[in-house]
Amino acid sequence: MKTTVTLAVIAAGVQAQEVYFTTTGYTARPQCTQPPATPSYRFQPFSYTLNETVRYATSIPSPSTTATFGPGYKEAVKMMNTKLSTTTWGSWVPGETVISATDTADKYGQAAWSSQWAQASLVNYTAVGLYTTTVRPTPVPTSELVLPPRDYFGPSDCYDFPQDFAFGVAGSAAQIEGAMGLEGRAPSLLEKIIQTGEPKDYVTNENYYLYKQDIQRLAAMGVKYYSFSIPWGRVLPFAVPGSPLNEQALKHYDDLINYVLEVGMLPVVTMLHFDTPLYFLKDANISATPDIGYNNGGYWHPEFVDSFVNYGKILFAHYSDRVPFWVTINEPLLYSFNFTGINNVVHAHAQLHHFYHDVLNGTGKVGFKLNDNFGVPKNPENQTDVDATNRFNAMQLGVFAYPICLGQQYPESILNTLPGAKPLTDAELKYIRKSTDFFGIDPYTATVVSPAPGGVEACSKQNTSTNSLFPYCVTQEWTNVYGWDIGYRSDSYVYITPTYLRSYLFYLWNTYKTPVIVSEFGFPVYDESFRDLPDQLFDSPRSQYYLSYMSEILKSIYEDGVKVIGAFAWSFMDNWEFGSYEAQFGLQVVNRTSQQRYYKKSFFDLVDFMGARNGLGY
């Protein structure tokens, strides 16, 4: 995929050593096979055209068959070797439940549950939004399903998606559900992490009660897969093995999954999406600076592995018959905190994969989902930059994927840099090897990498408090070697970088030899949240992002031989971005006063692109 190098000094002022992949001349037009035409001028009658050839979105067909991916609950639960009991706890009303509950002797009782909330001591706690019970869905009016005007430019590829390509949209619980202290949910890290004036996750989009309407809106657009997360603290409010299950939560997600199937869609379930039960952090300093990642997600906790595996098995037992794709932990690097956290994630993931396939004989897929804005060397001809880039990508991806995909040891860079890092034993590697059915990647954008000032080696001997570039020890930038931005910039860290996506997919497939799912990708249009509603809805830059990325995925599949088996757009609606509503990643606008949703243009464009290429999966 390297272009022919014609060395030429293209302009005065450009230093010879700065010229890397240069060539002169204009963009080639391989599509133009005829000689250029000559104009022939003439007069003709004129009439106004309104172009009212209205097209509507095509909703998903009703299901005709139901596929099964695992044993039903009765069979599965026998394989668990644990006694499961269920109960209900009700809802947290600040100052009330804690007083009225009298079962103080029961360590998993109402009083104990309430005291978790009291101990969380959250600021400005809001119990409910507009809804306190599931809203009955109504069909989406056809007037909302009229396609928007097309953008002038667009992809011109001629490929169709492979038959079984899994296309869908994604979201995560804490970013959309609200109903934080209702129906038995226990507090999670995400309520605690924002304690200043910024928006909290207490109410958000009220999807906990509006899920049917939200799913109905996806089906009306023709989307096949819905990727969502289940909050651990709803299912197991006391988190640990042996503690009772929350009957209301189990029913809720059972109903959600059934509703997804009823409208003709398929569910993709993530078990942990940053919302660690606060239990694992109750004595920890959640503001402490991590050795690696952004936050202290409690994955290092001595009880984490057994507890997470127990929770994961419970989800499998209840839902594996109906779920084709499972993700254990979302973007684990970001909340791993230190080497212990990483090591725990690797072990917990492998145990769940083994349980699913070796014990339950599940026929769906279980995988992970990693973050890493693809590191690309500042100068690909400079070995120092290439080495720094390999280190950057290995520390973010290889740390999980060397053992899980390849059965290989943690990267040298991890072992040599992270405090307390220890190699896996041969027996551990044997057990962990190939414990994933897909490589989920959230390749939002690319990052230009070069070594840290003073060099990688010196930096790697320091620590987070003495060097802000620790532990990767690289400089990250978003301009290329000539000073141009790497692509059109969004409201935050995302730049439109479709061609880097293609080289990223090439890198992943050929390095980790595992089928790839683009498990999240999306674009927060600059300043979108400050615009009037009609202008928010006409989101051409997001369309450009999605269509160019999907187009590059097609080229990756057909021209590079890369096995990409699915893509889930982030997000199906604007949501709570960890303390903010400003960087909007959604395919729909949400009015959080009325809880009304509005489709954006990019949603129509993306689904139309997929449908035109046989990519919707039906």
Which residue stretch of 222-230, 286-294, 518-526, 568-576 sits at the interface with ligand NAG (rule: CB under 6 A)?
A: 286-294
Question: Does residue 450 interact with ligand NAG by CB under 6 A?
Answer: yes
CB of 596 to ligand NAG, least distance (A): 7
DSSP secondary structure, 385-412, as one string: HHHHHHHHHIIIIIHHHIIIII-PPPPH
Of residues 12, 16, 32, 533, which one binds ligand NAG by CB under 6 A?
533
> Residue 401 and residue 514: Cα distance in Å, rounded?
10
Residue 15 touches ligand NAG, criterion: CB under 6 A: no
Please tell me whether residue 47 binds ligand NAG under the rule CB under 6 A: no
Pick the closest to residue 231 from 263, 191, 273, 194 (CA basis).
Answer: 273
Which residue do the tokens 């706890």 mark? 89
Closest distance to ligand NAG from the beta carbon of 455 (Å): 9
Residue 366: closest CA among 319, 305, 430, 298: 319
- Is 14 or 99 the residue whose CB approaches ligand NAG more closely? 14
What residue has token string 């909007």? 584
How many residues interact with ligand NAG (rule CB under 6 A)?
34
Give the residue closest to ligand NAG by C-beta: 420
Contact positions with ligand NAG (CB under 6 A) in 203-262? none
* 593 is a contact residue toward ligand NAG (CB under 6 A): yes
Quote the tokens at residue 180: 């934080």
Q: To 10 degrees, the CA torsion angle through 435, 441, 446, 452?
A: -30
Q: Which is nearer to ligand NAG, 360 or 573 (by Cβ)?
A: 360
Residue 7 sits in the site that holds ligand NAG (CB under 6 A):
no
Confirm or reject binding of residue 591 to ligand NAG (CB under 6 A): yes
Q: Is 81 in the site for ligand NAG (CB under 6 A)?
A: no
CB atoms within 10 A of CB 205: 26
Are the C-beta atoms of residues 517 and 166 closer than 8 Å to each other?
yes
**Residue with Cβ nearer ligand NAG (225 or 304):** 304
Residue closer to ligand NAG (CB basis): 39 or 420 = 420
- Does 362 interact with ligand NAG (rule: CB under 6 A)? no
Give the contacts of 611 (CB within 8 A, at least 6 positions apart). Answer: 58, 222
Residue 455 binding ligand NAG, by CB under 6 A: no
Which part of the chain contacts ligand NAG (CB under 6 A), choosing from 265-273, 282-290, 347-355, 570-578? 282-290
DSSP state of 2: P
Nearer to ligand NAG, 27 or 285 (CB): 285
Bridge-partner residues for 567, per DSSP? 167, 518
Q: Identify residue 365 by its one-letter amino acid code.
A: K
35 contributes a contact to ligand NAG by CB under 6 A: no
Q: CA 489, CA 510: separation in Å to the nearest integer?
A: 29
- What's the DSSP call for residue 27? P
Alpha carbons 41 and 36: distance in angstroms, whole number: 16
Contacts with ligand NAG by CB under 6 A lie at 49, 51, 71, 75, 79, 123-124, 196-197, 285, 287-289, 300, 337-340, 360-361, 382, 384-385, 419-420, 450-451, 463, 465-466, 533, 591, 593-594
